[in-house]
Amino acid sequence: MFERFCRKGAESVAFDVSCVWFSFKVAIRYLHVTLFLSVIPLALGVALGTPIAVCRKFRVRIASQVAGALITFLKGIPLVLYVLILNFMILKPLDKLAEYSVWADKLRLMDKIEYYIGIIALSAYATVVISETMRSALNSVPDGQYEACFSIGLTRGQALRSIVIPQALAFAVPVLCNNFIGLIKGSSIVYVIGVLDILNGAMTSAQINYRFLEAYIAAALIYWVLCISVERASWILEKRFKKR
């Protein structure tokens, strides 16, 4: 079946578009993996990053200091290390635990465990990045807006809901779209722990016909289309949110 799409063997050096097409077809089957690996971290990043940003903005005692120190530390770590470290931190103890507990053993041998580790790592990374996005979004609303709210008798909660958050969101949306694009591209890093996503899918096709360049290009094309789509959506969203 493979030969049908990419007839030429490894001995041929010329670039072959049909091999790109072949790799593309293999890789696209893992589109959902890449989407899950970026959409779930995006959602978790917003859900966890926003309260962290709020804590830091309003200097909530202890929480803001802990979050501040943690974020400052985590911000300086490359994504690939999140993946490798979490992979190690989850798998190694599981191996140990498996000697005592059937439950841990099951977990360890669970289908797609590396996929879940990838999601956890990317979510941690996204939380750090997005908490910073949200913080700058909150900071983009001038103090005068809060003061005007208070002066007309709004409570802090009311001020946040009807004035501050809508304005912060208008600022955050395009940045979040960029964060999302970063996550889509960044998710390809999970190949280091063997998750079958778009990139790894393309690679498996190359392992059959040794057409690595064609496979890379096929993967690049898919990522490119994904990112362009998000960017287009971002423009539309931005127009919606930017009430002048």
Enumerate binding residues for another protein (CB under 8 A): 144-145, 147-155, 158, 162-163, 166-167, 170, 243-244
- C-alpha span between 229 and 211 (Å, rounded): 28
Minimum distance from residue 145 beta carbon to another protein (Å): 7
- C-alpha span between 22 and 210 (Å, rounded): 12
The encoded tokens of residue 112 equal 């797609």
Minimum distance from residue 238 beta carbon to another protein (Å): 14
- Residue 198: CB atoms within 10 A of its CB come to 30
Minimum distance from residue 243 beta carbon to another protein (Å): 6
- Dihedral-angle region of residue 60 (phi above 0 means left; psi in -120 to 50 means alpha; beta otherwise): beta
Minimum distance from residue 159 beta carbon to another protein (Å): 9
Residue nearer to another protein on the CB measure, 7 or 242? 242
Query: What distance lies between CA 80 and its chain's CA centroid?
Result: 12
- C-alpha span between 36 and 126 (Å, rounded): 13
Residue nearer to another protein on the CB measure, 81 or 148? 148
Minimum distance from residue 13 beta carbon to another protein (Å): 59
Residue nearer to another protein on the CB measure, 120 or 164? 164
| Helix then strand then coil, % of the chain, to nearest 5 | 80, 0, 20
Residue nearer to another protein on the CB measure, 150 or 235? 150
Residue nearer to another protein on the CB measure, 18 or 145? 145
Minimum distance from residue 115 beta carbon to another protein (Å): 41
Residue nearer to another protein on the CB measure, 77 or 148? 148
Please list, residue by residue across 96-132, b when 16 or more beta carbons sit within 10 angstroms of its beta carbon and e when fewer do.
eebeeeeebeebbeeeebbbebbbbbbbbbbbbbbbb
- C-alpha span between 200 and 36 (Å, rounded): 15
Cβ-based neighbours of 38, under 8 Å, separated by 6 or more: 122, 180, 183, 184, 186, 187
Minimum distance from residue 47 beta carbon to another protein (Å): 23
Residue nearer to another protein on the CB measure, 13 or 152? 152
